[in-house]
Amino acid sequence: MSFGKFKIEIPALAGIFLASVVGCLPPNSEPKRLGLALASDVSIVEGLIGARVKELFVVIFPKDYSVPEWQRIFEETNVLSRNKQKLRAIEGLDTPEIQEERAVLIGKNAEILSELGAKSLFMMNWSIQDENCRISKSLKILCRPFNPENPMNGGLPTNRGPLQFIIPDPVQSEIKTPYLSVTLEQLDESKGPYFGLNLRLKPESSGDGFSWYKGDVTISGGSRFRSQADGSEVASFFPYGYSELTLQTSN
Amino acid sequence: MALGGVLLAVNANAQVLSTFVREQVGTLPKGRFMVSYLSLNASIDSMYGRDGNSRSLSGNLNQTITFQKITEEDPVRGNQLAGLFLANGVNLGEQAGTLAGSIRGTVNGKVPVIGYGIQDDLGLYVSLPVLTFNINADYRFTSSATTNGLLSQLSANDQSSVASEMSAALNSSLERKLFTAGLGWDPRLNRSYFGDAQIMLLKVIPAKPGKTFKQLLQPMVVLPTASDRDIRDLYGLKAGDGRFGTGLRYAFEETLPYRFQLNFGVGATYLFSSSQARRLPRTTGDELSELLDPAAQVSGGSKFQSQIQIRYPFPRWVGLNLGVTWQKQFQESLNGALYAPEVYSVASSRTSYDLLSSYASLDLNSIQSFLEGNFLLPAVAEVGIGLPMTGRNAISEPVLQFQGTMFF
């Protein structure tokens, strides 16, 4: 897959993958659709009504990656994260040296993203520029794409909704800390094979007008993805994906 | 009239403790009933391990957790986790932390026995032990410096949510592991369990004229009324075997000079083979039996008990008893198709136990006074203490016993 069409300024990609694995300590043999909730905090998700989706990123990997392959992926994402921090640190500065440094960092990130993309089975990214998604009053993510042909829209799967903010029991749930539950389903066969994704997004940070979530993705049984390599349909995949969501909570 | 030997049921099949039975050869007169109630109390803070050394029961759950162990326990994400740790400069052999804590508690046994005299030398007795375990467990995960460094690194790398999730996962790891394994973890357990019921016949062979040597034969049947899965799986404690069994006991009593009495008893019980749900350790080094075989084949099992006692009856009311008891269960064989033969082999090697203990008790009886018309009911009360001496797979704490028996 080429990353020529991919926006490397995507903030979501800066620290990918880590969140998808550590929640599993100690282990589970199979992914769960949802952790057993102690409670569901409705007030938090109601506070998100009207928020725009600045970025929603999902990546699914092939099955049976070896330890060195995973190690390489995490090492690349660590570099990506550090580069992003450097870019943040020089934001607003505009000397020739900094312009050059920024260009170098962006170029390195593009290479890393390209390599990561090649290692993925499925990758989608909704951006505020192309997909125009917003959280509706019914607590669903509704999109009115500016660019329906965006190759990174993943077929624009439907958000089943409503969004839920789950406060799990850390003992009985696979996930230990509170998370935002988002369910996406690809039901339109004209856009690709069926898949169902449950995003379990934990609050990472928030700032002036944005909220940033990270987490893992569990995949519904019967899901199929179109191979990045040759376009064939693949029904075998690593059962945990990775996702990030950045919401713009004010205009 | 005397009551003899019937309470061997207490320690025949339940948790192996330094319980004892005041040896006395005798049974009920024809047509008479008796009701007896035994209460025993003991701490379960420590027990003899398989090596014979007394240690805290807490040791079952204490463990050092390495990053390698974390990856090995997850069949789906093991490779991914290993990749994550390695990418962040963590050697998989390093400690992620330690899990340590304490298990303290008590066991309280109540053993009612009902007896009936079929003939003057033949009695029928039924007992059903009830054991109440009160356990307080307190465990904590202490992160290693490597883990703290990893968490700091993640936080500094725009991964605060990941660090929080990992920290929470490690801190709840023991409870989570026990929960997913279906081990019914209750850190404040206070629960009662039936032991195995026993039906016994007591046949007294009286002393020959001019002699004082009396003998007793006691055939018995064990009924599988015990249900103790949770404490058996998690702590290695048990209320019974939950299997049919049959056994025979022999005892004699001889009067010695200066009113001393010598009592000796020896008994064996055979427990029939059975299909039972059993927990199995993964390896020899795994103290927690985590793997569940809902239908493991348990071979027949043999138990052996013997006891010798010196009794000194003071005139009319009081008797002093000193004795030594030995209990042993021979190794059983566990088999099944769910796991590798080695897993069953490790579990089998842990099925044997033995315990040598001594005891001292004082009994007060009103029987002579009743026969003389000075007491309303014939009754016996006894208080005593059992002291563990050596053993394997048995509680190494003293046992305090009270017993009251009334005859009708």
B395 in a structural domain: yes
For the cut 70, the answer to whether the pLDDT of residue A2 exceeds it is no
For the cut 50, the answer to whether the pLDDT of residue B166 exceeds it is yes
> Which comes out higher in pLDDT, residue B121 or A8?
B121
The per-residue pLDDT for range B86-104, each reduced to its tens digit, is 999 999 999 999 988 888 9
ipTM of the complex: 0.84
B154 in a structural domain: no
- Contact criterion met (CB < 8 Å) for B177 and A170: no
Q: How many C-beta atoms lie closer than 10 Å to residue A100's C-beta?
A: 10
User: If contacts are CB pairs under 8 Å, which of residues 142-161 in chain A contact chain B?
Assistant: none
Interface mutation vs chain B, best among A18, A28, A75, most B CBs within 10 Å: A18
Residues in chain A closer than 8 A to B73 (CB atoms): 26-27
* CA B162 – CA B147 distance, rounded (Å): 13
Which structure tokens are listed for B255?
């009067």
Q: Is A102 on the interface with B (CB under 8 A)?
A: no
B68 in a structural domain: no
- Contact criterion met (CB < 8 Å) for B161 and A68: no
Smallest Cα distance from A148 to chain B, Å: 32
Give the pLDDT score at A138.
93
B204 in a structural domain: yes
The alpha carbon torsion through B386, B391, B394, B397 (nearest 10 deg) reads: 40
Q: What single-letter DSSP state applies at residue B272?
A: P
Give the pLDDT score at B11.
46
Q: Which residue in the block uniquely carries the two structure tokens 């897993």?
A: B343
- Nearest chain B alpha carbon to A66: B79
Q: Which CATH number covers residue B38?
A: 2.40.160.40
Give the pLDDT score at A8.
35
- Contact criterion met (CB < 8 Å) for A170 and B75: no
Query: Between A19, A26, A239, which is nearest B159 by CB?
Result: A19
* CA A42 – CA B98 distance, rounded (Å): 38
* CA B224 – CA B244 distance, rounded (Å): 5
B84 in a structural domain: no
Q: Is A172 on the interface with B (CB under 8 A)?
A: yes
- Contact criterion met (CB < 8 Å) for B168 and A74: no
What is the domain range of residue B210?
Answer: 33-57+104-136+190-407
What b/e string do you get for B40-66 counting C-beta neighbours within 10 Å, with b at 16 or more?
Answer: bebbbbbbbbeeeebeebbebbebebb
Q: Which amino acid is at B263?
A: N
For the cut 50, the answer to whether the pLDDT of residue A5 exceeds it is no
B214 in a structural domain: yes
For chain A, state the CA radius of gyration.
Answer: 18
Residues in chain B closer than 8 A to A23 (CB atoms): 165-166, 169
- Contact criterion met (CB < 8 Å) for B161 and A215: yes
- Mean pLDDT, residues B313-332 taken together: 89
The per-residue pLDDT for range B353-392, each reduced to its tens digit, is 999 999 999 988 877 767 666 666 788 888 999 999 999 9
Phi-psi region of B55 (alpha: psi -120 to 50; beta: other; left: phi over 0): beta
Total structural domains in chain B?
1
For the cut 80, the answer to whether the pLDDT of residue B184 exceeds it is no
Collect all residues with Cβ–Cβ distance below 8 Å to B258 and sequence separation of at least 6.
none
Query: Between B160, B170, B177, which is nearest A205 by CB?
Result: B160
Q: Is A207 on the interface with B (CB under 8 A)?
A: no
Answer whether the bond into residue B29 is a cis peptide, omega within 30°. Answer: no
DSSP letter string, A39-75: EE-HHHHHTTTT-EEEEEEEEE--S---HHHHHHHHH
B358 in a structural domain: yes
- Contact criterion met (CB < 8 Å) for B161 and A85: no
* CA B397 – CA B48 distance, rounded (Å): 9
B2 in a structural domain: no
- Mean pLDDT, residues A219-225 taken together: 92
* CA A14 – CA A115 distance, rounded (Å): 14
Residues in chain B closer than 8 A to A68 (CB atoms): 83
DSSP bridge pairs for B287: none
